[in-house]
Structure 1
Amino acid sequence: MTTLQHTPTAELPPGGGPVLWLDVSFRQRAHPPHQLVHRIVFTEFSRPQRRGIVNGTRTQVSSRAPVVLGPPLLGAGYVDGNGCCGESAHTRALLTIDGRRYLAQRYAIDWNRLDRHGRSFVGDPAKNEDYLIPGDPVIAVASGVVIATRNDLPENTPPHSIPNLTVQNAFGNDVIEALGGGRYAGYGHLQPGSVAVHVGERVHRGQFLGRVGNTGSSGGPHLHFQLTDGPNVLASNGEPYVLRTSNQPARLSDSTMPPAR
């Protein structure tokens, strides 16, 4: 359990509100429950000998299978940063917007590219052009309709993010694609001037959308990809997905990586 500022705690101050992070896994053929109920047992500071019990409301468990998508990048050497699951900058990126809490980045991935020595850049880490991934083509993970784009934000200088960060510029230059079925794909931090599609355009899987950059809330060149249940890249919740690719996965033990966000 943590505070809203992500500080671990087992104590609640008066008027305080914590976040309880649970990562529940099941065997492949196991049957998850249809509902979850949180039962909280607590003691009062003034009367530690007494216990209180609160039963939370019932939460429905989604039975919808993850959608199968194509990769947003083609080629070798790409690495999944801050991906599902466990604790990461994405899985803990809980935001309160207009009085509601959202976790749009629950299944988001920061894609980067490494050379055979495990390096994401060669040269000056403060220069975007010395990284391996800038300019790499970003492609559609599925067929859909473009519902939003941005193409005018300048590149950041690593390791610094955009000045005057807001919810409107956090995703940087981007493409938002409606896939149908209440799912929306977001491709973020693209290079300025590289977005090649327009709002209302129907795109097909594998179509060129733009190029990897370092714009918005980003401290180094990378592609931020996420799937959500709403068109707003922050005021929505993350959806699970499976990537269909012929690449063989490998676990990275150490590398030289930029400060992605």
Structure 2
Amino acid sequence: MRKTRTTRRGCALVAAALLLSAGLGITPAAASELTAGTPPAATRDSHDAITPVVASPTTVPVPVRGTDGKTHLVYELAVANMSPQPATLTGVRVQDGDDHTLLNLTGSALKAHFRPSGSAAGAPPTDQLSPGRQGFVWIDAVVPPGTSLPLRISHDIGVTYPKAVGIIPAKMTERVATMTVPDRHPVVLSPPLDGAGWLNGNGCCDQLTPHRTAANPLNGTSRFAERFAIDFVRLDSGNRLYHGAADKVASYPYYGAPVRAVAAGEIVSAVDGLPDATPGSNPAHLPLDEYAGNHVIERLPGGEYALYAHLKPGSVKGRVHVGQKVAAGAQIAQLGNSGKTDAPHLHFQVMDRPDALAANGLPFVFSSMSLQGRLGSSVDDLFGGEPARVGAATGGRAAADGSMPLYLDQVSFPVRP
């Protein structure tokens, strides 16, 4: 949990390639007419516009209320540079149907929310997209209070090229990826854990955590199962993560904490028997089916699926089995450190299918929860053994029922027998 950092064939594609590389014989005078928002006459007449950077959303977002009191639209924008020249992204703006700006990424903020596919871990932020390369812009757009749904949104992408080529100018703004956000609501759940001190050490939404940026290339497409996933760790009354040797699971006081069903549902997967990993050393070369370690997947009443991962060895077997119906709040396992993990924690996520990795992550809110504060230092600092800096909840945000914990939030859940 530690923070780190189809090809189609046919003559249409051939025509598109010729258009972008050779410009279809467009004269320099016609090309110069194509400035941001001013397409050539032929384009205006046909209502078409050249968009050398193509874009599409990876999902239609479900609005979700965070502990900050704001409603978030969380998704990814896949972008690809179809030009033979390198593209520089100068801005990405999300707007509603009335041209109200919901998110505007420029400069360092854009670089922080954009990554070309295949970027090496730790690669410096960039706004460059080489010819033919794809990348993702991670979107967290905030909906103003009182906004009615369904909501029509669009994306304006600023692009510059080294020089104008054919009908592609050196500088332009594209309006792309228009979609409608329906009037839907996230699933409401009871908490998976009991008591105070639980920290969201890896989660949604604005900062690009490992969960938020997990674009799993599986079965021929990119999957975003961990879009809203949370790694829950617990700080004690002195705001420490562990006591004693950092490489021993027994040093983490919350190890073995009860893990509870978040709704009345049916168990569709129950895995046990995998060993705990050694804290501080994330296991390498695990097969994909062992990434979640010992885990439980529950089908929820609305057809969504909840994943409880990295569970304590021996804590699943004897408690739940496939096909079993469970009540909300029933203990289904204990928190552990099995699978691909470097410290004891509960990995929790909601998804559209019963697969820990090859699924689409869905938002959720907890029915009963209070916001204790927010971590004021890096999650990595917790592993140094020093007390964490946690700022108190401000702005009347302590009451957090019906919201989703955001990254670095410390929350408290009701204690159940």
What residue in structure 2 maps to residue 217 of structure 1? 340
Do residues 69 (structure 1) and 69 (structure 2) align?
A: no
What residue in structure 1 maps to residue 151 of structure 2? 34
Once the two structures are TM-superposed, the CA of residue 121 in structure 1 deviates from its matched residue by 0.4
Q: TM-score, length-normalised on structure 1?
A: 0.90
Contact between 2:149 and 2:182, CA under 8 Å: does it hold in 1?
Answer: no
Do residues 50 (structure 1) and 155 (structure 2) align?
A: no
Do residues 81 (structure 1) and 201 (structure 2) align?
A: yes
Q: Distance in 2 between matches of 1:40 and 1:30?
A: 24
Partner of 1:134: helix, strand, or coil?
Answer: coil
Q: Distance in 2 between matches of 1:258 and 1:242?
A: 29
Q: Distance in 1 between matches of 2:221 and 2:313?
A: 32
Amino acid at match of 2:382: M
Contact between 1:26 and 1:32, CA under 8 Å: does it hold in 2?
Answer: no
Q: Distance in 1 between matches of 2:265 and 2:383?
A: 31
Once the two structures are TM-superposed, the CA of residue 238 in structure 1 deviates from its matched residue by 1.4
Partner of 2:298: helix, strand, or coil?
Answer: strand
Q: Distance in 2 between matches of 1:32 and 1:89?
A: 31
Contact between 1:78 and 1:111, CA under 8 Å: does it hold in 2?
Answer: yes
What residue in structure 2 maps to residue 242 of structure 1? 365
Q: Distance in 1 between matches of 2:147 and 2:289?
A: 41
Between stretches 2-11 and 196-205, larger displacement belongs to 2-11
Aligned length: 259
Between stretches 29-38 and 143-152, larger displacement belongs to 29-38
Q: 1:226 to 1:149 in 2, by over 3 A?
A: same
Between stretches 53-62 and 156-165, larger displacement belongs to 53-62
Do residues 182 (structure 1) and 307 (structure 2) align?
A: no
Do residues 60 (structure 1) and 180 (structure 2) align?
A: yes
Q: 1:99 to 1:81 in 2, by over 3 A?
A: same
Between stretches 79-88 and 181-190, larger displacement belongs to 79-88
Partner of 2:309: helix, strand, or coil?
Answer: strand
Alignment of 1:67-146 (within 5 A): 67-87=187-207, 88-146=209-267
What residue in structure 1 maps to residue 382 of structure 2? 257
Please, which runs of 5 or more residues in structure 2 have no aligned partner?
A: 1-113, 385-417
Contact between 1:95 and 1:101, CA under 8 Å: does it hold in 2?
Answer: yes
Q: Distance in 2 between matches of 1:233 and 1:58?
A: 30
- Determine which of 189, 198, 203 is the counterpart of 2:326: 203
Task: Tell me the percent identity.
Answer: 37
Partner of 2:134: helix, strand, or coil?
Answer: coil
Partner of 1:168: helix, strand, or coil?
Answer: helix
Write the deviation string for residues 103-158 of structure 1: whole angstroms up to 9, x where unpaired. 11111111111111111100010111111111111000111000111102111001
What residue in structure 2 maps to residue 155 of structure 1? 276
Partner of 2:135: helix, strand, or coil?
Answer: coil
Q: 1:99 to 1:214 in 2, by over 3 A?
A: same
Between stretches 82-91 and 105-114, larger displacement belongs to 82-91
Q: Distance in 2 between matches of 1:37 and 1:116?
A: 46
Q: Distance in 2 between matches of 1:257 and 1:224?
A: 18
Once the two structures are TM-superposed, the CA of residue 248 in structure 1 deviates from its matched residue by 4.6
Once the two structures are TM-superposed, the CA of residue 232 in structure 1 deviates from its matched residue by 1.0
Q: 1:188 to 1:100 in 2, by over 3 A?
A: same
Once the two structures are TM-superposed, the CA of residue 27 in structure 1 deviates from its matched residue by 2.8
Contact between 1:221 and 1:258, CA under 8 Å: does it hold in 2?
Answer: no
Contact between 1:169 and 1:216, CA under 8 Å: does it hold in 2?
Answer: yes
Q: 1:25 to 1:32 in 2, by over 3 A?
A: farther
Q: Distance in 2 between matches of 1:226 and 1:258?
A: 24
Contact between 1:148 and 1:199, CA under 8 Å: does it hold in 2?
Answer: yes
What CA RMSD, in Å, does the superposition of the two structures yield over aligned residues?
A: 2.2
Once the two structures are TM-superposed, the CA of residue 23 in structure 1 deviates from its matched residue by 1.2
Write the deviation string for residues 73-93 of structure 1: whole angstroms up to 9, x where unpaired. 112222222232211221111
Once the two structures are TM-superposed, the CA of residue 228 in structure 1 deviates from its matched residue by 1.0
What residue in structure 2 maps to residue 226 of structure 1? 349
Once the two structures are TM-superposed, the CA of residue 34 in structure 1 deviates from its matched residue by 2.8
What residue in structure 2 maps to residue 21 of structure 1? 138
Partner of 1:19: helix, strand, or coil?
Answer: strand
Q: Distance in 2 between matches of 1:174 and 1:43?
A: 47
What residue in structure 2 maps to residue 3 of structure 1? 116
Q: 1:15 to 1:246 in 2, by over 3 A?
A: closer
Between stretches 108-117 and 25-34, larger displacement belongs to 25-34
Moved runs in structure 1, 4+ residues, more than 4 A? 52-55
Amino acid at match of 2:116: T
Q: Distance in 1 between matches of 2:171 and 2:293?
A: 49
What residue in structure 1 maps to residue 39 of structure 2? none
Identify, as 1 or 2, the structure richer in strand.
2
Q: Distance in 2 between matches of 1:27 and 1:54?
A: 24
Contact between 1:162 and 1:215, CA under 8 Å: does it hold in 2?
Answer: no
Contact between 2:245 and 2:251, CA under 8 Å: does it hold in 1?
Answer: yes
Between stretches 216-225 and 12-21, larger displacement belongs to 12-21
